[in-house]
Chains A and B, each alone.
Chain A
Amino acid sequence: ETGVTQSPTHLIKTRGQQVTLRCSSQSGHNTVSWYQQALGQGPQFIFQYYREEENGRGNFPPRFSGLQFPNYSSELNVNALELDDSALYLCASSPVPGQGLGANVLTFGAGSRLTVL
């Protein structure tokens, strides 16, 4: 079975620009969560998508948005980039909501490292 794949692995943007990060979930998983990991910090929950709808959100502003597609893949979009958005963005997939969040079935990708200059 394939794991969670994310793209791109690295990218550099400037303040004010917009970015889209992509995630393909593990085979058989229909729920996707996104986390932000700033340098030297632990991951922080951004939001989760299930059945193509947002199903839980952390303390992030509306300029962080997402999509989930019928094949369960997902995108994270960040508008009006700020310097503090520089981080590793992690995608995690799980079989069903609730069982995934906080349970041991979260499968993480290797992340997309975003640098904002």
Chain B
Amino acid sequence: GNSVTQMEGPVTLSEEAFLTINCTYTATGYPSLFWYVQYPGEGLQLLLKATKADDKGSNKGFEATYRKETTSFHLEKGSVQVSDSAVYFCALSSDSGNTPLVFGKGTRLSVIA
């Protein structure tokens, strides 16, 4: 079945450091890929998405590129801020939108000043 594997946390970085959170997936066909973020006490928010190979999703300085050859969708940010502290979830949907989201276990990021 479909699955998502992301690097385990927690990840602790200093402000302005470079962030990478690895995500790989297993799916049939051509899934859509997503990164969601969960701030303390809040619901999940869509951070970015990509729907086909080589697409790059970007938002709020975060980026991720859909790599079909490596089945990966790593999240990156060049300079993190304290306000980026949250739990990040990689997720997939196995087609254009007719199946539920399958999530990874999440990676907690803490950014210290």
Which A residues have a C-beta under 8 Å from some C-beta of B?
3-4, 33, 35, 40-45, 48, 56, 58, 90, 92, 97-104, 106-111
Are B43 and A108 interface neighbours, CB within 8 A?
A: yes
Task: State in angstroms the CA–CA spacing of A101 and B103 once bound together.
Answer: 13
Q: How many A-B residue pairs have CB under 8 A?
A: 70
- From known contacts A42-B4, A42-B105, A44-B103, infer whether A102 and B43 are also in contact, taking CB-CB under 8 Å: no
Q: Which A residue's beta carbon lies closest to that of B8?
A: A40
Task: Please give the number of chain B residues whose Cβ is less than 8 angstroms from any Cβ of chain A in the complex.
Answer: 27
Residues B64-107 near A (CB distance < 8 A): 89, 91-106
Which B residues have a C-beta under 8 Å from some C-beta of A?
4, 32, 34, 41-46, 49, 89, 91-106
18 further interface pairs, Cβ-Cβ under 8 Å (given A48-B100, A102-B96): A33-B100, A40-B106, A42-B4, A42-B104, A42-B106, A43-B89, A43-B101, A45-B101, A58-B100, A101-B97, A101-B99, A102-B92, A102-B95, A102-B97, A102-B99, A104-B46, A109-B43, A110-B41
